[in-house]
Structures are given as C-alpha cells and as structure tokens.
Amino acid sequence: MIKKVILGALLIGTAIVGKAQNKIAEHDIEGKMKWFEEAKLGIFIHAGIYSVADVSESWSFHNGTISVDDYMKQQNGYTLSKYDPAAWAEMIKDCGARYCVITTKHHDGVAMYNTKVGKLSAVKTCAAKKDMIKPFFEELRKREVKCGAYFSLIDWTHNDYPGYLKNKERYDIKKEPARWERFQKFFQGQIKEISDAFNPDLWWFDGDWEHSAEEWQAEKTRNMILEKNANTIINGRLQGYGDYDTPEQNFPVVRPAFKWWELCMTMNENWGYRVSDNNWKTPYEIITIFVDAVSNGGNLLLDIGPKPDGTYPEPVVSTLKELGDWNKRNGEGIFGTIPGIPQGHYYGPTTLSKDSKTLFLFVHGKTSGQVLLKGIDNKIQDITVLGSNVKLTHKVVGKISWSSVPGLVYIDLPETAIDKYVTCIKVTLDAPIKLYRGKGGFLTN
Ligand code: GLC
C-alpha cells in the first residue's frame, strides 16, 4: 500500500528521485531523515585498486584508456599496508563530518569487504588480504559517525553483467534472461551480505542509469534493505526508489525544490586517488561551497581518495584539518540550523536557528566593512562574530517612523573580527524572523 510519496511531490524537475512518486511506502520518512538533515557534512571515500596506476576509477578500463588486464593487475599493488581505520575515523570526525560513505564496491566489481558471493575482493584477490570496511565502520561508530555504504549496481567485470567496455556489451538481457536473473541474484546477494555484516545507516547506490527500475528490481531491492533496517537511508540512484537527491559536482544556483539533497564533490578532480591529480580545491573554496550547500538546505559529501597503502595525500589531511578548525569556530551557524533567508535580503549565504530567532550571515573571504541586511522586520538584540565572540555594532538606515518599511541594517564588521576563510555573524532577533517584502505605506499599528 502506498502511504506516502517520498520525494516526488517535493520535486520540480529532478530526474532521479522524481520517479519515486506514487511508488514508495514509507513508515516515517521525516523521522528517518532527521539525522541526515542535521548532518550537513559527510565524507565520501573512493577506495579501490584504481589508486595504484594513476587511472580513473573503473571508467579507465571501461573507456579503454587502460586494458582490462592491466587494470586488474592493480590488485597486486593494492596493499593497504599502512591502513589505519582508527586514524581515518578520527580524521573524519575531527573535520566535523557526521557521516561517511565508502565504496564497498565500485563499477570494477572489486569488493572492499569480504564478499562470499563475489570472486573479486580486497580480501581474496588483492595484496591487502583484508576487509577494509569492517574495522572502518567499527571505528566510525565508536565516534558516532554514521556509516554509509556506496554500492555500484554496475559490475563491469562480472561475467553475468551485460555491460563491459564502452563499445562492447557481453549480451542482451532480452535474449538471455536467465543470465540476467543470475546477475540479479548476485548483486542482491552482495547487498544482503553488506546489510547483514554492516547494517549501513545509509546506502549510496551508483550506476542505476544502465538499467531500468524493473531490471534492477529496484522496489524489491529497496524493500529488502528496509526489512533489515527500516531506518536506513537510500540515496537517489536506485531508479526512483531513493530518499534524497544527489546532484553530482553540481552547485545549485537557487535553492533546489526537493527537500533532501546532497552535493557530492571531489576534493581535486578525481573520485579516487591519482598521483597526477594536483588540482586541489583550497580550504577557502571548499568552505564556501559547503556553506552554500547548507544555506540552500543541502549537505556536502566531500570526496577523498586514499593511496594504495591506505594513507592520504597531504592536501587531503591538511584541508580536512582546516575545515575541522573552521567548523569548530563556526559550527553553531551550520550544525543544527535550517536553511537561511531568500537571497535579496542579504547578498550571501545564511542559515537560521531552528526557532528562527537567530540569523547567521556568512561573509566570504577577507571582506570587512559594512554588511547590509534588508527587509528584516524584527528588532535586533545582539550581533556577534562566531569564533571570536566579538560584539558588533550596527546602524539602521532609512527607517521612517510612520512607514512599514523596516529600514536597512548596516552591520560594522571590523577587519580584526574576520575569519581567515568565511566569517559567520550571529544576529539574535527579538522573535522568529519576519521578512518584509512590501511596497511601503503607513504603519497600521
Ligand atoms: C559517478 C561515477 C562514479 C563515481 C560517482 C560518485 O556516478 O560513475 O565513478 O563513483 O559518480 O558520485
């Protein structure tokens, strides 16, 4: 029985989750999504054999930039010899992330956990000879970081999977339905293994675009997962059977119409580690993108990729440290907030406290001087800068006693009070925020 439309009604123009309309029964979607909505920051980890030979994750052999043989040989170099799951979890916790999503299996079919139903894994066919996921989830959970399992539906190296190379399919599922059924059993078997072994708080499917909802048996797959854990969250890449949308490397210009969304973004240009990729986003860029996502009601899922020995390149470590320090100074304006006020009242990102009595204004870069707020029909009780707690003065300009126009608020932000990346100004109001968008006129009271 369909009790509730998950995202469909909330969506305007989104391809993926929009298809969920009228299809999904859900016990308590709001309750289930609560932690996700409050999390704001997640770390995405693309761990896999592709880190060995400076190639892109799975796509490199699929697109023919490396032969399948050479690609698979990377398993011998995937040692994880310095893998320290506790240190990983610590680094993630420390940057302020509330959840982490790691590749349990990418499109190349090499599982990072100890799969019994699959042939390829970090345990059986890689030099590492170990399950990466088990100890990592344990360490995350010790630190109360939610655990997400990325799982690729596509499995380009599996003999029963129709897709293989860009220009070479294995077979047509219409002609060989039994073979496709074998594959369905296989991937669902892996999902069951992951459910049973790790009970993920979140499932991050990928690759659904190669087949339809019917072909993936998306509804059955979803139900199977929810039967095990009704509270687990499913991303929007299960052909319409997900809970939230995943705009990939896409920075929404205006607030997306759907309720739950997550921007997934690489820290450099690749999802996995590549020695040649040094085009790192700076801490400033990452923080501004993060703030932008949060102010528009989304989360940032920031991707990093470990080296084959299980360590991280220096820019990953230092950027996460900077992000964590920024969150420690400014977290009050991020975590536990709701999306801010519409653009036009303030020329920058904003958030609000849950009771809407506190407005947080984010000021980019080294900007100091007078910060302008427009159309706020409230009395301001107090203005401070997060981190330093410096009290700020302000001036109301253009307020006429008989007019309903609230006047412009100019807040003085001195150079000495600004954050090295993004400053957060906390404006305490007398009551829940009231936005003025009128045309002027006499006060009625
Ligand atoms: C794309 C790619 C994949 C990557 C994912 C992360 O779907 O196929 O390689 O893992 O994006 O969002």
pLDDT of residue 18: 44
Residue 160 Cβ < 6 Å to ligand 1: no
Sign, CA torsion 413/416/420/425: negative
In which residue are the tokens 């690609």 written? 71
- The C-alpha atoms of residue 303 and residue 44 are separated, in whole angstroms, by 4
Q: Is the pLDDT of residue 444 over 70?
A: no
Q: What is the mean pLDDT of residues 225-241?
A: 96
Per-residue pLDDT tens over the stretch 150-202:
999 999 999 999 999 999 999 999 999 999 999 999 999 999 999 999 999 99
pLDDT of residue 8: 32
Sign, CA torsion 288/344/36/244: negative
Angle at 352 between CA 350 and CA 358, to 5 degrees: 110
Angle at 386 between CA 385 and CA 389, to 5 degrees: 65
Residue 322 Cβ < 6 Å to ligand 1: no
Give the residue whose CA is nearest to atom 5 of ligand 1.
Answer: 206
Q: Is the pLDDT of residue 16 over 60?
A: no
Q: By percentage, how much of the chain surpasses pLDDT 70?
A: 93
Give the pLDDT band of residue 407 (cuts 50, 70, 90).
Answer: very high
More confident residue, 326 or 26: 326
pLDDT of residue 445: 52
The single-letter code of the amino acid at 139 is: E
Tell me the pLDDT of the chain averaged across its residues.
Answer: 93
Q: Is the pLDDT of residue 274 over 50?
A: yes
Q: What is the mean pLDDT of residues 202-206?
A: 98
Per-residue pLDDT tens over the stretch 72-83:
999 999 999 999
Q: What is the mean pLDDT of residues 425-443?
A: 93
Task: Please state, in angstroms and as integers, the Cα–Cα distance from residue 17 to each residue in 50, 156, 244, 300, following that order.
Answer: 29, 24, 7, 18
Task: Quote the ligand 1 centre to 166 CA distance (angstroms).
Answer: 16
Q: What is the mean pLDDT of residues 114-122?
A: 98
pLDDT of residue 26: 56
The single-letter code of the amino acid at 155 is: D
pLDDT of residue 9: 29
Q: Is the pLDDT of residue 211 over 50?
A: yes
Which atom of ligand 1 lies closest to the CA of 237? Answer: 7
Q: Which pair of tokens denotes residue 441?
A: 């006129």
Distance, C-alpha 387 to centroid of its chain: 25
Task: Quote the ligand 1 centre to 221 CA distance (angstroms).
Answer: 20
* Domains parsed from the chain with CATH numbers: 26-333 (3.20.20.80), 350-429 (2.60.40.1730)
Cβ atoms of 11 and 18 closer than 8 Å: yes
Which atom of ligand 1 lies closest to the CA of 59? Answer: 9
3-state helix/strand/coil string of the chain: CCCCCCCHHHCCCCCCHHHHCCCCCCCCHHHHHHHHHHHCEEEEECCCHHHCCCCCCCHHHHCCCCCHHHHHHHHHHCCCCCCCHHHHHHHHHHCCCCEEEEEEECCCCCECCCCCCCCCECCCCCCCCCCCHHHHHHHHHHCCCEEEEEEECCCCCCCCCCEEECCEECCCCCCCHHHHHHHHHHHHHHHHHHHHHHCCCEEEEECHHHCCHHHHCHHHHHHHHHHHCCCCEEECCCCCCCCEECCECCCCCCCCCCCCEEEEEECCCCCCCCCCCCCCCCHHHHHHHHHHHHHCCCEEEEEECCCCCCCCCHHHHHHHHHHHHHHHHHHHHCCCEEECCCCCCCCCCEEEECCCCEEEEEEECCCCEEEEECCECCCEEEEEECCCCCECCEEEECCCCCECCCCEEEEEECHHHCCCCEEEEEEEECCCCCECCCCCCECCC
Q: What is the Rg, in whole angstroms, of the alpha carbon atoms belonging to the chain?
A: 24
Residue from 60, 153, 271 to probe ligand 1 pocket by mutation (most atoms less than 8 Å from CB): 271
Give the residue whose CA is nearest to atom 10 of ligand 1.
Answer: 271
Task: Quote the ligand 1 centre to 109 CA distance (angstroms).
Answer: 14
Count the neighbouring beta carbons within 10 Å of the beta carbon of residue 315. 16
Give the pLDDT band of residue 27 (cuts 50, 70, 90).
Answer: low
Backbone angles phi, psi at 204, to 5 degrees: -115, 90
The single-letter code of the amino acid at 273 is: Y
Q: Is the pLDDT of residue 110 over 90?
A: yes
pLDDT of residue 3: 28
Task: Quote the ligand 1 centre to 250 CA distance (angstroms).
Answer: 13
Q: What is the mean pLDDT of residues 423-435?
A: 98
Judged by phi (left if over 0) then psi (alpha if -120 to 50, else beta), residue 433 lies in beta
Residue 70 Cβ < 6 Å to ligand 1: no
Q: Kindly compute the dihedral angle of the four CA atoms of residues 37, 42, 48, 50, in this order, to the nearest 10 degrees.
A: 110
Q: Is the pLDDT of residue 20 over 70?
A: no
Give the pLDDT band of residue 258 (cuts 50, 70, 90).
Answer: confident
Task: Quote the ligand 1 centre to 9 CA distance (angstroms).
Answer: 27
Task: Quote the ligand 1 centre to 206 CA distance (angstroms).
Answer: 7
Q: Is the pLDDT of residue 313 over 70?
A: yes
Give the residue whose CA is nearest to atom 4 of ligand 1.
Answer: 271
Angle separating helix axes 177-198 and 218-228, nearest 10 degrees: 20
Per-residue pLDDT tens over the stretch 360-405:
999 999 888 999 999 999 999 999 999 999 999 999 999 999 989 9
Q: Is the pLDDT of residue 14 over 70?
A: no
Task: Quote the ligand 1 centre to 209 CA distance (angstroms).
Answer: 11
In which residue are the tokens 């799969």 written? 115
Q: What is the mean pLDDT of residues 278-295?
A: 98
Which atom of ligand 1 lies closest to the CA of 152? Answer: 10
Give the pLDDT band of residue 443 (cuts 50, 70, 90).
Answer: confident
pLDDT of residue 188: 98
More confident residue, 2 or 47: 47
Task: Quote the ligand 1 centre to 392 CA distance (angstroms).
Answer: 45
More confident residue, 35 or 256: 35
pLDDT of residue 11: 35
